[in-house]
Each structure stands twice: as structure tokens, then as C-alpha cells.
Amino acid sequence: MSRADPAPLSDSRPGLRPLLTLAIPVIGSRLGIMAMGLVDTIIVGRHSATELGYQALGWAPTAVVLTTSIGLLSGVQVLTSQAIGDGRRDETGAILRRGLAYALWVSLTAATLLFVLGGPVMHHLGLAPDLADGATPVLQLLALSLVPILIGDAGMFWLEAHGRALPGTIAIWASNAVNLALNLWLVPGDSGFATAGAVASAWATFLSRLFFLAIVFLLIARWREARALGVFTPAPVDKAASAEMRRIGYGASISYFTETLAFASMSIIAGWIGAAAVASWAIVLNVAALIFMVPLGLSTATGVLVGRAYGGGDRAGVRLAARLGFGLTVALTLAICVGVALGRHQIAAAYTHDAGVQAITAAALLLSCLFFVADGLQVVGAQSLRAQSDVWVPSATHFASYLLVMMPLGYAFAIALGLGVNGLVWAVILASLMSASLLWGRFVWLVRR
């Protein structure tokens, strides 16, 4: 290990310092993922409203598939963390190699299905033919870009499990810089290449994701410990380990798909209310998604520390890591809530000049502060359970909370009771509180069993 390398997190018991050391760069990398989509939207939107529609239609199905596929790869991080905690650090290279092979299979399957079926499906959904025609090539390029981003994510998850989150953050933001430059060059249509608008932005995404994959592989290859960990050695056949990696991924992907589907349905309910409600709800969701990157990063860091303690048979360490993740999530999300509450009018004005939409959005953002904490706690709780190989309870909890509770409540509050966007927010609040309570109740039961 070089002098510049940080000390492995496994060298000490879980504590606030190792949690923050891992969480801060992970939060940075997750914000980087959000930034790439935001840049695409802004640049294409300024170029042409029509092209922005093509881009939105192309992004929608790929975003669902990408989120679900990332869940399938979560076993790479969990198994690597557990192996480190169990003193089997030298076996983590084999976990990476199995994870990369699995990521290749998942990404090729997802890309092929979207590339072949995406266009025909859009043409049969009742969209105007010109919309479907314009969105199809965007969807196909974004489908192809799933291959490099998913394989790169598997490598990034492995590095994070080793406590090396900063390299992944650097890779994400470097690829953001490439994406920004390519968008500015290609989208206006005067680059000299026969591409412009949404298709050009999709090319920028594809090329920047290839760059991300190359950077991640380079970072792993140049790490001095990589050879000793078995990264360059063919992984032995281990059907049980491969099956466990898939099992963990299945549970996480169901959770991610469930939440994505549920929130998409809330957008449809907002559409039934009216145009102003759709715009307001879109702003609230965008702000909530940005804020969610903080507890999402904390969930990764907490899960790594819980997984190491669990792999080492350290039950007290499991409790300590989860307690620290819980407390830090509450503290940070409460601080964010104060900022959102005080700046809600300014946030709304930054998104829209429409006074009516601003008023609805400001009120909804203030109410949303009630679910930011609960939403953060539920994702940290779910990851703390998965880190102990408790896979299906988080999936069942998310299914019950977000599909069986949030969706019907969203309709009842927003439409039947006439609460509008605030009704949608109340549904999210109750579903998130239910999810967080069930997940942390399960955690307490496990550690006391």
C-alpha cells in the first residue's frame, strides 16, 4: 500500500470517523450521477423543447431499467464487505471478477431488450408517431450505454466496499466533465457530425459512460493491492457464492423497481389534478431526489461497516455501525429540512417563473420536510439489513409501503379529498414512516435474537 492510500476501514471497529470517511465521497459520487442527467436536460432543453420531449421519453424506460439493474449488482458490495470483515480479504478479487461477469450478462440483456423492444413499445403506447420516431434512436443509444455504466458501477461498488470511495467519486465527476463538454459540442448541431439535439446528448452519455468504465478499470488496475487480492487471477468456480450474489441482488432490485414504479404512479396522479400540479410535483420530486443522495450515500457507508462487522461475527459492531448511521442520517436530514423550510420560496422560484406553480411548490416543499428524515432512515435501514444478508424483508417492506399504501393513499388524499399536491406529499410521508419503522424494527429484532 502506498503512503497516500488511506488505511483500510477494516483495521478498526465501526466509528463516526470511518463512517464519514466513506460516506462523504459516496455522497459525492451519487450527486455526480444526478448531475449528469441534469446537465443533459438543461442543454437539450435550451436547444429545443421538442428535442427535450424526445430525450424525456428516451430516458424514462432506461432510468427504470438502470435503477433495477443496479440493484441486481448490490451483492458485489455486500459480499466484499462481509469477506473483509471475516478476514478473507484475499478472496475479494474473485468476488469482483464474478461481479463483473454478472454485470456484463445483466447489462447485455437489459440493453438488448430495450434496444429491440423499446421503439415498437413506444409506437404502441398511443404516442404521436413523430414523438415515438424521435424518441426511439435516443432510447436505443441510452440502452447501449447501460453496458459500460453497469460494469463500471460493479467496479465502483467493489472499491467502496474496500473503503476506497474517493476514486469512484473522481471517476464519476471526470465523466461528468466529459459529458458536459460533449453536450456543449454536439447538441447545437454545428460540430461537423450529423447529429444534434437529444440524439447528440445520448451520444454524449454513451461516450462519457465508456470513459467512466475506463477510469474505474484503470483505478482498480493501478491499485497496489489489486494483484494480492486476486483481481488478475481467474476466479475459482463457486456456484454457492455466485448464487448468493444473485440472491442479494434480486431483493435489492425488487425494492428499487417497486419504489421507482410507485413514484412514477404518483406523477400520473398529479397529471389527473392538472398542469400546475404536474409541474409542482416534478419540482418536489427533483428536490427530493437530490436530497436523497445524502442518505443514499450514508446507507452505502453504513452497509459496508455493518457488513464487515457481520462478516467478522461482531454483533456489537453491527449495532454500533447501524446506530451511527441512524444518528447521522437523522442529524443531516434534519439540517437539510431547516434549509429547505427557510428557502422553499427561493427553491420554487429557481425552477419556475409561474407564480401559481411557485405557491403550490413552496407549500409542498415545506410539508415534504416531514418525509425527508423518514425516507433517509428507511434506505439506511434497508441497507443495514441487506449487509447481514437479510434480503427479502426490505423488498416486502418496500412493496407493502410504497405500492400497497402510498399509491392508494396518494389517490385518496390528492383526488378524493381534494388535497392536491399536498395530498401526494402526505401519502409519501406515511409510506416512508411505515417503511422506516418496519425496517428498523426488523433490525432491532435481528440483533437481539
Look up cell 439540517; give the residue.
335
Q: What is the pLDDT of residue 5?
A: 43
Burial label for 130, CB within 10 Å (0-12, 13-18, 19+), is: exposed
3-class DSSP state of 176: helix
Task: Give mean pLDDT in consecutive 10-residue pieces for the chain, a chain of 449 residues.
Answer: 41 72 88 83 79 79 86 92 91 94 95 90 76 88 95 94 90 94 93 88 95 95 91 89 91 87 82 81 84 90 91 90 94 94 90 83 92 93 92 92 93 92 94 96 90
CB atoms within 10 A of CB 253: 20
Q: How far is the C-alpha of 163 from the C-alpha of 85, rounded, in Å? A: 12
* pTM, entire model: 0.84
- Residue 192 backbone phi and psi in degrees, to 5: 100, -15
Burial label for 202, CB within 10 Å (0-12, 13-18, 19+), is: buried
Q: What is the pLDDT of residue 401?
A: 95
Q: What is the pLDDT of residue 7?
A: 40
Q: What is the pLDDT of residue 37?
A: 80
Q: How far is the C-alpha of 238 from the C-alpha of 46, rounded, in Å? A: 52
- Residue 90 backbone phi and psi in degrees, to 5: -70, -10
CB atoms within 10 A of CB 339: 12
Domain ranges of the chain: 22-236, 249-449
Q: Give the DSSP per-residue string, 339-390.
A: HHHHHHHHHHHHH---HHHHHHHHHHHHHHHHHHHHHHHHHHHHHHHHTTT-
Q: What is the pLDDT of residue 127?
A: 67
Q: How far is the C-alpha of 66 from the C-alpha of 147, rounded, in Å? A: 10
